[in-house]
Amino acid sequence: MRPSRAFALLAVLGTSTVFTAPGARAQARDSVATVTVAPGVTWRTIIRPAGPLVIHVATIDLKRSDYELRHVRARDSLRGREKLSSMVARAPGGAAGVLVAINTDFFNLQTGESENNQVIAGEWWKGVRAADSNFDTFPNVRSQFAVGANGRPLLDKFQFDGVALVRGGSIPILGLNSVSRTGPEASAFYTERVGVTPRDTVRKVVEAPLALTGRRGDTLVLVRRGAIDSSGGHRVAAGTFVLAGYGARRTAVAALSEGDTVRVVLRARTPTASYGSLSLLVGGWPRILRAGENIAGRSASDEATLSGNAEVRHPRSAIGFSRDSSTLVMASVDGRQAASVGVTIVELAELMKEFGAWDALNFDGGGSTTMIVQGRIVNAPSDPLGEREIASGLLLVRRTP
């Protein structure tokens, strides 16, 4: 929906336009249209002349058990891009079962791979200890949004934390379906989601194929089955895994014998906690609210944001939740258009506070900003061709029996 059409929408849904008192020059305040999407789910369209801005806000009552959040990947693949509307259309039950959807993590424009950790429906798709981004010149641990196994929303600097327990010791796993390209040594654990393991043109590699024999909580019980490979480019078939050692870490992987049991523990850790089970985990950049405080102004030092992104008004997407974690807030702000100029991340943080968030995270913005309500794009994507193909999204869906 283009910004000019937002005014027509307000006329249909009802407005709350307020003017200054007589005697002063009339100045329009916000026009707000509120729609109850479903019990406990509301969507507001806010037209703010001061800006000007067009804002869409969805609030969700997390105490309800008939809804759930789902993290989805473009083309249901580790890499690739797809429009959010297409992801919504192919969701189980189709678009009719998706109440609200929003774009999420930053991504590589060429490959479509997300830059941060990814847990989808409890399964690790990508695990990194620092953002996998060409913009970072150091190991930058970015803030990410998660939902715990108990359904509680979380916002913190999550790092992948893996270890392979083997006969006589352990092998730290530094990445899952991802491997650091820097440093003389590394280790990684690959699942079928990677398709084919990467080839390393600098470091020597040893890859051990593993077959699944069982699961125990956050632990995969595997057995080494098949020939050790030292070239990379190994196709990972469904139900199989690969443990890889690069550089000096090759020795420990090469020591695994055919039939050896390998227990792989996959966890997420933050500076203060460790999580063995998450329902979903998705990245953003940066955190803009912490315990009710607007911390966006410190993001350059906290998370190495770029001034051209953070300090300039752009279209924005964000997620947050209330102090008691009972209400989720999703917001999109249109930008780069006459009817809506966009916001900086400091301004975005203030908006999220206004909408009831206590903690909040900035998602990918610019032309990626997309919000869908009841199967329809409600914001005005800023790219000249309209809706952009992105890497991932967050969907609020009706829980199936």
- Rounded to an integer, what distance in angstroms lies between the CA atom of residue 316 and that of residue 53? 11
Angle at 92 (CA atoms; ends 89, 94), nearest 5 degrees: 35
Residues 288-317 have a mean pLDDT of: 97
Bridge partners of residue 148, in order along the sequence: 278
What pLDDT sits at residue 388? 99
Residues 323-329 have a mean pLDDT of: 99
Sequence length of the chain is 401
Q: Cα dihedral angle (310, 311, 315, 319), rounded to 10 degrees?
A: 50
Q: Give backbone dihedrals phi and psi of 318, rounded to 5 degrees, phi first.
A: -155, 160
3-state class percentages of the chain: helix first, strand second, coil last, to nearest 5: 15, 40, 45
Residue 23 has pLDDT above 90, yes or no: no
Residue 14 has pLDDT above 80, yes or no: no
Residue 21 has pLDDT above 80, yes or no: no
* Cis amide prior to 286 (ω within 30 degrees): yes
Q: What would you measure as the largest C-alpha separation in the chain, in angstroms?
A: 87
Confidence of residue 105 (pLDDT cuts 50, 70, 90): very high
Instruction: Look at the pTM and tell me if it is higher than 0.75.
Output: yes
Confidence of residue 16 (pLDDT cuts 50, 70, 90): very low
Residue 97 has pLDDT above 90, yes or no: yes
CA distance to 101, 187, 245, 319, 388, per residue, from 74 (Å): 13, 27, 29, 19, 12
- Rounded to an integer, what distance in angstroms lies between the CA atom of residue 275 and that of residue 281? 11
Which residue segments constitute the domains of the chain, with CATH numbers given? 56-136+277-398 (no CATH), 161-269 (2.60.120)
pLDDT in tens, 210-226: 999 999 989 999 999 99
User: Measured in Å, how far apart are the chain's first and last C-alpha atoms?
Assistant: 33
Query: In this structure, are residues 395 and 88 in contact, taking their beta carbons and an 8 Å threshold?
Result: yes
- Rounded to an integer, what distance in angstroms lies between the CA atom of residue 296 and that of residue 286? 7
Q: What DSSP designation does 388 have?
A: P
Confidence of residue 25 (pLDDT cuts 50, 70, 90): very low
Q: Give backbone dihedrals phi and psi of 138, rounded to 5 degrees, phi first.
A: -150, 170
Structure tokens at 67: 């809804």
Residue showing tokens 């490959």? 111
pLDDT in tens, 128-159: 999 999 889 899 999 999 999 999 999 999 99
Query: In this structure, are residues 76 and 121 in contact, taking their beta carbons and an 8 Å threshold?
Result: no
CA distance to 58, 291, 293, 356, 366, per residue, from 323 (Å): 17, 7, 12, 8, 28
Residue 116, CA atoms < 13 Å, CB-side half-sphere: 27
Residue 61 has pLDDT above 60, yes or no: yes
Burial code (b: 16+ CB inside 10 Å, e: under 16) for 265-296 equals bbbbebeeeebeebbbbbbbbbbbbbeeebbb
Confidence of residue 368 (pLDDT cuts 50, 70, 90): very high
